[in-house]
Each structure stands twice: as C-alpha cells, then as structure tokens.
Structure 1
C-alpha cells in the first residue's frame, strides 16, 4: 500500500507541475499572439514525430524490463521446483542418505530466502557461498552409491533435477545483477523532457484543451516511467518477486 501511495504521489505531483506550466504557457501565448497566427506545419509535424519516437523508446524499455522480470520469475520457479523434486526423490534413499540430501536442500533454500534475497533486492553481488551450498546438494547424491535398480533410477532423476537447479540459479543471478542500461535511462528522461517541452512550445490556443492534453499526456508518461523503474528491479520494490517458492521446497517430503 505504501508503494501505491508513493506512485500516486509522484504522478500527481508531475501532473500538478504540468498543469501549472500549461496555464502559464497559455496565458503567455494569449498576450503575445496576433489576431491571425500562422500555423507552422513543419513544427507540428516534427513535434508529432518526436512524440512517436519517444513512444517507441518507452515501449522498448517497457518490453525490456518486463522480459527481464518474466525470465527471472521463470528461473526462480525452475530452481525451486527442481529443488523440491530433489527433496522428494530422497524418499528412495536409505534413511541416513535421505536425511543428508534433505538437509542439504533445506540449508540451501533457507540461505536463498534469508541471505541472498535481501542482497538481490539491493542489487549486491551474491558471492560464492550459495554455489557452495548448491554443490553440497549435489555432493549428498554423488557420495551415495546405489545398490538397487530403483536407487539407480532415483539417482539419475535427482541429478537431472540438480542440473535444472544449477541452470535456474545461473538465470536468477544474471537477473539480479542486470537492469536497464544508463543509456536507456538517459533516453527516457531526455526524450520525455523534449516531448513535453515541444508540447508546451507549440501549445494549443484554447486553455482548457491544452490543460487537459498536457496533464493527461504528462501523467501517462510519468506512470509508464515509474512502472519501468519498478519492473527494472525484479527482486525489490512494489512489483518485486517473492522468495515464497523456496519456502515451499521442503513441503510434502
């Protein structure tokens, strides 16, 4: 709820500023306009083209951060699901080996939830300890020597799931250290300022129409930029992914 209020406050503040600028611009235009003002079709065309190009930049940025978050969500589900299957497959091992395998999975999942997740929210490097704990999960199975056909089948299935967990962790770590480039952020900010500046420079003569268009367009741009900023942090912020899948890793064992 706090994040929603913050977003509403940001958008409302930008809209108020845009509305005030539109009113000042309209009054200034009325004082300086002649009885028959000549329309500059070239300027209007260029303004329209700038708006179209900026819409493309917004769309590209939104798609980029959305795909990054969707990929992170997929990797989290794959990693947690593989760990859960590994936990369940331990039922096919002798009691001592099963306890070791489950303990290794529980330790790794708890470390991801309590230690790695806050680091991912702050975009900090995860370090090697998580890989060490995941390697302990693998070691718990490699140290076990199957003696029956059923144990061999369980062993093979477990290694397939551990391999999937490794791949999911690679993807999760890449998403945690990624993010939209500074060049794209510069394009968003500079392009938004240019687009809104041209809208005020070549304003509409009718104050009410200009006010509605200025506030509506500005609020839309502000909302999309705030949305891009939120999606750019897959593991933190109001739209961040949850560590809940790792909390369910050991359930049902």
Structure 2
C-alpha cells in the first residue's frame, strides 16, 4: 500500500479543513447551544425525564449523531466531487495510486473532521448538562464507526453528484429527516405501537440507540442489532465503492 499517497491526500484534505478551523469550531458550538435552548428549555420544561434520564442529557447522543452523520457526508462528498468538478481527478486516476488508497485518504480525512465535530459537541454539551458515560469504549467505537460509514456514503454521493445541488440532496432530504425521526430527541417507547413498528424500518434508529446505550445503558433496540446494522451498512458502502472503481461509473464519464 502506498502510504505516501494516502498521507498526501489526507494532508491536503485536512489542510483545507484547518484553514476554516474557527468556522468549523464555532458553528457546532453555536448549533449545540441553540438545540439546548430550544429543546432543553422549551421541551425540557414539559418533559422532565425520559426513562430516568434528564431530558437535556437524553438528547446529547442524538445531537452528536445528527452532526456527525451530516458532517461526514458533506466533507467526504465535497472532497471527491471537487476534483471531478475541476478535472484533477484524472491526474489522480493516472497516478500510481489504487482505488483503495484514494478511498482511505479521502474517507479518512472526512471521518477525522466528523470525529472532531463530535468531540466538540460532546464538550459543549458537558457545559449544559451533567454527563456520565457508562461505556466509554463502546461510545468511542460507535462514534468511529458512524464517522467511517457515513464518510463512505458521502464519498459515494460525491461520485454520483453531477452538480453542487445534488451534493446537498441526500443529507438534507434523506439523512436529516431520518435522524429526526430516528429517536434523536425522544425514546421510541414514547410512540404509539403502530409508529414504533414503522420506526424500526429506519436504519438510523439502530445507530442512535446503540450510541445512547453507550452513554446511559438504555437502548430502544438490542446492542447486537445496532452493531449488526452499522457493520452491514459499512460493508454495503465498501461494496458500492469497489463496484464504482471497477466499472468507472461517474468517474470516467
């Protein structure tokens, strides 16, 4: 494996991120604060606790997942789309670099950026609520897997997109609604039985449930199903990327 090529791609992407570090740092802090003001104060005044957890603390895993998923997709999709847009991707494809090294470089940088945002939000949340993480290893594992899997999805979207509008299509119209409807700010058990059954078809439910279990030991679905869901999603994305580079779909066209 060409580690020099991977590091060159990774460093280039991270340099672009550090040029806007202040924006990358301030934006999630402000957004998280607003969520706590709106959800914590407005809704939290009516919902004191959810399954024995204060509502302010209960929404923290959902806030982190919402930001991590969207940031991982956005960074990875833009990272690979921009070389397509300006034509430099052909130089990359003609270089002695295989598709795995390209994916590791771009996806690794996008996952790192999303992880940074997740840590920032976690630190900001600790200023508003008292957090005790019951399973820190599981929390880190779920966070890393989510950053990686959604960065892979973003990479696919970046190759699929034909214009800048399509880059935002999936995060805004698909991922964000699924996160909001996936138990980010409420427990699935609070829904009527019919809606509980329908919600189980939302794949984001399993990610948020597993991540929340790492914090509080509470989950809407079993931890095994959560791990199976994120593992299967990651494998599916990897298979799709392998097929894209094998066939040249939307790359050589």
Instruction: Please report the TM-score for the alignment, with normalisation by the length of structure 1.
Output: 0.31
Structure of greater Rg:
1
**Highest RCO, 1 vs 2 (Cα 8 Å, sep ≥ 6):** 1
